[in-house]
Structures are given as structure tokens and as C-alpha cells.
Amino acid sequence: QLQLVESGGDLVQPWGSLRLSCAASGFTLDYYAIAWFRQAPGKEREGVSCIGYAGDSRNYVDSVQGRFTISRDNAKNTVYLQMNSLKPEDTAIYYCAARHYACSRLENYNYWGQGTQVTVSS
């Protein structure tokens, strides 16, 4: 069974940090682009960050630029999202998604994880 499993979500205070993990099983991530999306209650799911299959191409939504860092460890078949200087508006369910090679729009991702809750609150 091809699966992506997110972990690392938690309750954290503003200005705190979390590292989310996206682990693949049943297939290798070597030739997949991996993206992080998030969805807050009552809001559309939005792209947060994406990393290309070779790890050279990375992008971030403007609201997290400079605070979040996406990385991958193909040997561990895992992609990470390091989140620093967290703000209440970062509160959402975070999902990872995969597709072959290149980052793309939401509807073009083939594999999705179940999501992990991130809550930023005083």
C-alpha cells in the first residue's frame, strides 16, 4: 500500500518551532516532488511549500518565507518542514502530498497523507 504519513503536529506558543515529517511507505520518494499544504477551519486548502525531486528547487508561500524550511532525506524516505517563529495564523491541519518530479498545483498531486494538526496559541 502506497502511503504518506505526516507527524510532528502539536500545540505550540507563538514564536515557537515545530518540525513536521512526511514519511513514505510502499514506494520511494527519490523521483517525487513533495509539497506541504495546510487548511484552517473555514478556509481553502493552500500550498505552503514544495521541494522538487532532486532537492534543488524549493518554494514557499509568501506568508511563511523566511520562517519555514523544507528539506528531504531520500535515504530515510522522508521530507521535513521546519517551522520557526510560528504565528497564530499558521494554525491549520498540515498535509503532505507527492507527485512525479515537479511541483505543481494541488489537483495534480497523486498521493496524500492524512494530515497533522498544528495549533499556535498563547
Residue 109 has pLDDT above 80, yes or no: yes
Look at residue 46 in the predicted model and tell me its pLDDT. 97
Amino acid at 119: T
Residue (of 44, 40, 49, 46) closest to 19 by Cα position = 49
Can you read off the three cell numbers belonging to residue 84?
520557526
Cα gap 58→33, rounded to integer Å: 10
Cα gap 34→28, rounded to integer Å: 12
- Condensed to tens digits (0 to 9), the pLDDT of residues 23-54 reads 999 989 999 999 999 999 999 999 999 999 98
- Condensed to tens digits (0 to 9), the pLDDT of residues 58-105 reads 999 999 999 999 999 999 999 999 999 999 999 999 999 999 999 999
Look at residue 56 in the predicted model and tell me its pLDDT. 79
Which DSSP string corresponds to 18-40?
Answer: EEEEEEEESS--TTEEEEEEEE-
Look at residue 2 in the predicted model and tell me its pLDDT. 82
